[in-house]
Amino acid sequence: MEKTDNSIKEIIQRAKEGNQIAFSTLLDTFWNDVYGFQLLRTKNENDAEDITIRTFSRAFDKINSYDETYEFKTWLITISKNLHVDLIRKRKKSMLSELDPRGDEAKRVLDETPTVEDQLITEQNLANLLRDIKKLKPHYQKVINLRYFHEMSYADIAKELDEPVNNIKVKLLRAKKLLAEIIKKK
């Protein structure tokens, strides 16, 4: 279904008002454009999907800053391009730090086994996280549980919940944002 410029503008306006269906519609409408753009740039399906998801996450966070004098697709591609550049910089920095010979010998000698204190802190953090997850609506709890505790792929979650993959991506994105808000309020 081809969407007209006016209908896209209406959908964007509803998204600015917080309408979840509008967010899903924008994701469905522009997913292939952004993903295809990133696939050409990265030549890696996982990176392209990760950047595309982060693109929509950033766009939905900043939807109120969208200037309607520009095409929405162009705005998304710009966000996507910037995220890709950030990823490249991060990887270069990581590679350079791996090549830095200073301190490598000491790092190899150190015992990386967690101490009893580290294990206790990890358990407490996990308990707090689980308590925060339980504050989410059940459908958000479910996607977080399947993705991060059962380590299921988006496709497997979609099959499990009998929903389209893009819906799962949007739900997971929303669940993570809501969870982050709950954690920030502490």
CATH number for position 117? 1.10.10.10
pLDDT of residue 1: 44
Do residue 117 and residue 85 come from a single domain? no
Do residue 60 and residue 19 come from a single domain? yes
Token pair recorded at residue 175: 């669940």
- CATH number of the domain where residue 44 is located: 1.10.1740.10
What's the structural domain count of the chain? Answer: 2
Gyration radius of the chain over CA positions = 20
Do residue 92 and residue 45 come from a single domain? yes
Do residue 22 and residue 5 come from a single domain? yes
Do residue 80 and residue 159 come from a single domain? no
% of residues, the chain, pLDDT over 70 = 87
Of 85 and 99, the one with more pLDDT = 85
pLDDT of residue 104: 53
* Domain boundaries, position 172: 111-186
107 — pLDDT class (breaks 50, 70, 90): low
> Given phi > 0 = left and psi -120 to 50 = alpha, else beta, which region is 3?
beta
Amino acid letter for position 45? E
Of 74, 79, 70, 73, which is closest to residue 52 (Cα–Cα)?
79
Per-residue pLDDT at 128 exceeds 90 = no
Mean pLDDT in residue range 167-172 = 87
Continuous segment of H or E residues that includes residue 143: helix 138-144
CB 175 within 8 A of CB 182: no
CB 20 within 8 A of CB 178: no
Per-residue pLDDT at 76 exceeds 50 = yes
In whole numbers, what is the pLDDT of the chain averaged over residues? 84
CB 60 within 8 A of CB 173: yes
Among 89, 106, 123, residue at a domain's last position: 106
Mean pLDDT in residue range 109-120 = 66
Do residue 181 and residue 128 come from a single domain? yes
Give the chain's end-to-end CA distance (angstroms, integer).
44
Do residue 97 and residue 48 come from a single domain? yes
Do residue 119 and residue 102 come from a single domain? no
- The whole-angstrom separation of Cα 28 and Cα 163 is 13
Do residue 94 and residue 150 come from a single domain? no
- The whole-angstrom separation of Cα 64 and Cα 62 is 5
Among 106, 131, 152, residue at a domain's last position: 106
Do residue 136 and residue 51 come from a single domain? no
pLDDT (tens digit, 9 = 90+) per residue, 33-68?
999 999 999 998 888 988 998 999 899 889 999 988
pLDDT of residue 166: 84
**pTM tops 0.95, yes or no:** no
Residue that is written with structure tokens 């996607």 in the block: 143
Mean pLDDT in residue range 85-106 = 71
Do residue 129 and residue 65 come from a single domain? no
Do residue 27 and residue 98 come from a single domain? yes
Per-residue pLDDT at 105 exceeds 70 = no
Of 8, 54, 19, which is closest to residue 34 (Cα–Cα)?
54
